[in-house]
Structure 1
């Protein structure tokens, strides 16, 4: 693992375009070698975009592999490049939607789905805003220490363990009205999940966006991280009105519907290699 970190540290010295060229080659190789991940991605696309031909799905997943490898190779840039470089790499749009709420003394949850630009944009954002982040401990101690240290590099983030629960998250949010960076768009298993359609297929979905915003009396502001060539764009959308409601199921469906629209804009940049439909309702067959 230390060798991997050394490689990432060296790669950060390269121009972003050169890192992209290496990622293109390694991503293409990974597409052919990682058969199981490729199969997962193709199944996800078949469920979400049944109108696509098999050839179209293969092209999209091949591009997705390249983006995912590039995300991994650019960790060195996020962890060790200068703050100025990170700010130059990321254009931030609509940040006033967040700052205006904080100035009014309101708490904010940033709905921040898993797109391939999410890490770089997060490190740039953390230079402008303090953030609350939930952290899951890694099995590898060396990797765990590096990820934790990396997230703390600007000394401007409150990290809450996933095991601590909602009370710790809300307490951290209320300290200086610190926005909570929330990524609830993956399959975390049956516990605490509800089944809500995602591109027309029931998906085990954490309803935390509705529940936390209700408990914390916080506003939800969606934020989407996009890769644009060798750079990034982080766009904040207006805070959701009439959210949350008394219908947690409808609130969670609204979250998924918003995400579906953003995925359609940049379908090759979403985390398709994750088993999004792993958990199934009782009696339904498995997909993977």
Structure 2
């Protein structure tokens, strides 16, 4: 069953000033997000260096001016997406449905049984989660990284649980909680494109560079068993476009290395469409194969 508005569509409890800000025109909020991104770009020198290094490694053929533009866009879009949480979590349900447009095979997510979503770290990942849990009434589960600030942690947890009472599994628990949710028939929102160290990973190319890549996607898919669909969220001047792709055929293949390489190859293609919307602030190549020098 699908519905445009989830029955549990109340806004996240919070201060009145957040609810008031949520009613502001989107261009005003995006301007505030741009200002936040500009401040971070200036003061977060170490993160700026990481972004520039990532872009230099992954887009060696681009001009320096192009890479500088993408670096600035990374911070600008990060700031805008952070401010957008105000209306995603404190605005009206109708506002969320209007500004976050679903495209592709999203109605298929209403099918019963376990489903596994590959969601890369584009800036719109919170918008995609909010809209999908609003639009599709079914069990949902996703990984949650606890925040250092208790106030921020409570805000983020409440925001991500706004629609449909999803299960939020702490990263400290690992994939065990996600595996249980998958076995129970949930749609699992998985973000497996970060460097989590050598132990849970295989080294496969990412933009031609050996990158520690976790194998949680094929392993959970086999465990379900569950079909895998990609979800790519793009920020634009109207809000967001969330594309839900078709099921990946012949996945998993039984070869974790081949499956991780396929995941990275698909991700590269999407990143190349909007390089300035990917989460380059993360040190994607911090874990190196034995005998390889550090890149940061």
TM-score (norm 2): 0.88
Q: Distance in 1 between matches of 2:18 and 2:46?
A: 26
Q: Distance in 2 between matches of 1:66 and 1:8?
A: 21
Does structure 1 conserve the Cα–Cα contact (< 8 Å) formed by 2:120 and 2:193?
yes
Deviation at 1:167, TM superposition (A): 4.1
Choose the corresponding residue for 1:151, options 150, 160, 177. 160
Measured against aligned partners, the alpha-carbon deviations of 1:218-240 in whole angstroms (never above 9, x if no partner) come to 11011111112132111111101
Is 1:117 the equivalent of 2:124?
A: yes
Is 1:214 the equivalent of 2:225?
A: no
Call closer, same or farther: CA 1:233–1:174 in 2, change over 3 Å: same
Deviation at 1:284, TM superposition (A): 1.4
Q: How does 1:99-178 map to 2 (within 5 A)?
A: 99=110, 102-103=111-112, 106-129=113-136, 130=138, 131-175=140-184, 177-178=185-186
Residue 52 of structure 1 corresponds to 62
TM-score (norm 1): 0.91
Q: Distance in 1 between matches of 2:20 and 2:94?
A: 18
Choose the corresponding residue for 1:77, options 84, 87, 92. 87
Measured against aligned partners, the alpha-carbon deviations of 1:96-150 in whole angstroms (never above 9, x if no partner) come to 3433xx24xx421000111111111211111123421112222222222222122
Q: Distance in 2 between matches of 1:91 and 1:42?
A: 31
Does structure 2 conserve the Cα–Cα contact (< 8 Å) formed by 1:98 and 1:221?
no
Choose the corresponding residue for 2:264, options 232, 256, 270. 256
Does structure 2 conserve the Cα–Cα contact (< 8 Å) formed by 1:97 and 1:236?
no
What RMSD in Å do the two structures reach over aligned CA positions? 1.9
Call closer, same or farther: CA 1:160–1:72 in 2, change over 3 Å: same
Is 1:233 the equivalent of 2:241?
A: yes
Q: Distance in 1 between matches of 2:17 and 2:52?
A: 31
Call closer, same or farther: CA 1:107–1:61 in 2, change over 3 Å: same
Is 1:31 the equivalent of 2:41?
A: yes
Is 1:98 the equivalent of 2:109?
A: yes
Q: Distance in 1 between matches of 2:242 and 2:167?
A: 21
SS in 1 for 2:147: coil
SS in 2 for 1:225: strand
Choose the corresponding residue for 1:189, options 192, 197, 200. 197
Q: Distance in 1 between matches of 2:159 and 2:83?
A: 15
Greater mean deviation of Cα atoms: 89-98 or 253-262: 89-98
Runs of at least 5 residues in structure 1 that lack an aligned partner in the other structure: none
Call closer, same or farther: CA 1:85–1:138 in 2, change over 3 Å: same
Deviation at 1:71, TM superposition (A): 1.0
Count of residue pairs the alignment pairs up? 280
Measured against aligned partners, the alpha-carbon deviations of 1:214-261 in whole angstroms (never above 9, x if no partner) come to 111111011111112132111111101101012100000000000000
Q: How does 1:260-275 map to 2 (within 5 A)?
A: 260-275=268-283
Deviation at 1:155, TM superposition (A): 3.7
Runs of at least 5 residues in structure 2 that lack an aligned partner in the other structure: 1-13
Call closer, same or farther: CA 1:90–1:161 in 2, change over 3 Å: same
Call closer, same or farther: CA 1:226–1:5 in 2, change over 3 Å: farther
